[in-house]
Structure 1
Amino acid sequence: MTLIFAHRGSSSSHPENTMISFMEANKAGADGIELDVQLTKDGEIVIIHDDKVDRTTNGKGFVKDLTLAEIKQLNAGHHFKKGTFEDTIPTLQEFLTWFKQTNLLCNIEYKSTTITNHELEDKVVQLVRQYQLEDRIIFSSFNHYSIVYSYRLAPEIETAPLYMEGIYMPWVYADSIRAKGIHPHYKVTPNELIILAQQNGIAVRPFTINQEKDIKRFMEVNTAAIITDYPAMAREIKNNL
């Protein structure tokens, strides 16, 4: 059965990467949440996708140049549906406190570009262990150095590389970096690849699948999971199949 991961929460209906979006995804019947983490100027882990706050909030500037106190002043729903929903940028700790009380899984994406500084991974792993959530977390990143470091630090927590291009035999690559899954862009994920990867023990969780026909295709071929902005629609399609 294909699991449904809500991309940045229920980001089609609520402001992405906010607690209201995550709670809505849970209500909509998602099996998991996908979210993005990075560090503030004072080294706190916050949940936000872009390296700047401009697109999603009423603030300006790079996340790494703002303190947590400054970030907490911003409205993360400012640009979404004319500011219908107001919410703050959550910390990973706030999220995990809520998440621990649910039955959800969570895909934490490291928004990391460096191959030498691993402060983000160190802090995230420490927090996940503190909450004893190792078996409900998957770490992913487009920065594969980041997830390899993560695996070495915490081999008990699953990792999965994110990628946009067609990779030849990606299950071989995944296995070589000890990843248990792959998170490819849906356009480079034909049915044959899903079947072969999963026969070789590698879970396939493509992103970001928002069209009904695509959701159906991935579910019909028993893809391990899909990552979608529309968890409610995906749940309805899954129930009808």
Structure 2
Amino acid sequence: MKIFAHRGLSGFYPENTILAFKKCLNLNIYGIELDVQKSKDNHLVVIHDEKVDRTFIGSGYIKDMTLEELKSLKSSFKDFEDNEDCKIPTLEEVLKLFKPTEFIINIELKNSKTKYKDLEKDVIKLVKKLKMGKKVIISSFRMDSLKKVRKYSSKVKIAYLVSDKFYKLRPKFLIFLDLINYNFSYVNPNHKLVDKNFIKKYHSKNLQVLCYTVNTIEDYERLSKIKADGIFTDFANIFPLTCD
């Protein structure tokens, strides 16, 4: 079972920060997951929400703030307000942190609500610049966004994120068609959607199934039993540390 630290070791430290990622470096896990958006001045930044309000002391949309403004914000996580490793990092800073390691980095494109211009192109450009194509998975809930990723790179691994809402709305045969035609490597579903038949269906298309967000041993054991390929978890240090 592949274990990914969801937004870093986010069950214990401020999510998507250098500190949360550093705390993963000595763990025997497969990789980390992070979210990327763009600042007003076109920098790739690592943060989940479209607004800073939940995770930082401040208010406003990422798209309306410069990198300097974003970097000035303090974490809203108690006792970490003044920790310099708890600022909003750039994607380049995080990738460079993991470049010397064997970790796989799942980059989620956060573009379901805010349609950032050239987000896919800029992410691929950075990955190529750092020569980290083999260490990266690009994921998104938007199929059109992943098709753009494939346009800019024929080799980078891509993953379709599946939520309960979108899975019900989109005909499954169309999903299968796109997954095959655009050479997907993974399907990343909400773990509540996953049963034996789900696993069997996607394994038959040579796709691995990575489930989010799994935070209990009971869910881990259920998914392991039905042969899910991996999980994203906020508590990567407490699950059985087996990875392949």
The verdict on a shared fold, with TM-score over 0.5 as the criterion, is yes
Identity, % of aligned positions: 33
Structure 1 residue 43: deviation in Å? 0.1
The residue type equivalent to 1:182 in the other structure is: V
Per the alignment, residue 236 of structure 2 pairs with 231
Seen in structure 2, the aligned counterparts of structure 1 residues 210 and 171 have a Cα distance that, compared at 3 Å, is farther
On the 8 A contact 2:36/2:109 being kept in 1, the answer is yes
**Within 5 Å, which residues of 2 pair with 1:96-135?**
96-113=95-112, 118-135=117-134
Q: Give the unaligned 5+ runs of structure 1.
A: none
Closer, same or farther in 2 for the Cα pair 1:119/1:138, shift >3 Å?
same
- Contact 2:51–2:62 (8 Å) recurs in 1: yes
1:141 Cα deviation after fit: 0.6
Specify every segment of 5 or more residues in structure 2 that has no aligned partner in the other structure, as ranges.
none
Q: 1:101 Cα shift?
A: 1.3
Q: Note the 1:51-200 alignment, pairs <5 A.
A: 51-75=50-74, 77-78=75-76, 80-83=77-80, 86=83, 87-113=86-112, 118-165=117-164, 166=167, 168=172, 171-200=176-205
CA contact (8 A) 1:45 1:91 kept: yes
1:222 is displaced (CA, Å) by 2.8
Which 10-residue stretch deviates more, 83-92 or 225-234? Answer: 83-92
- Which AA in structure 2 matches 1:197? Y
- Alignment partner of 1:178: what SS? coil
Amino acid at match of 1:61: G
- State how many pairs are aligned: 235
Which residue pairs with 1:208 in the alignment?
213
- Runs ≥4 in structure 1, deviation > 3 angstroms? 81-85, 113-118, 166-173
- Structure 2 Cα separation of the partners of residues 143 and 164 of structure 1: 11
| Distance in 1 (alpha carbons) for counterparts of 2:18 and 2:140 | 22
In the superposition, relative to structure 1, how do residues 72 and 115 fare at CA in structure 2: closer, same or farther (>3 Å)?
closer
Question: So what's the TM-score if we normalise by structure 2?
Answer: 0.89
Determine if contact 2:2/2:30 at 8 Å carries over to the other structure: yes
| 8 Å contact kept, 1:28–1:235 | no
The one-character-per-residue Cα deviations of 1:162-198 (angstroms, maximum 9, x if unpaired) are: 1112464655552244311101111111122113312
Instruction: State the TM-score, normalizing by the size of structure 1.
Output: 0.90
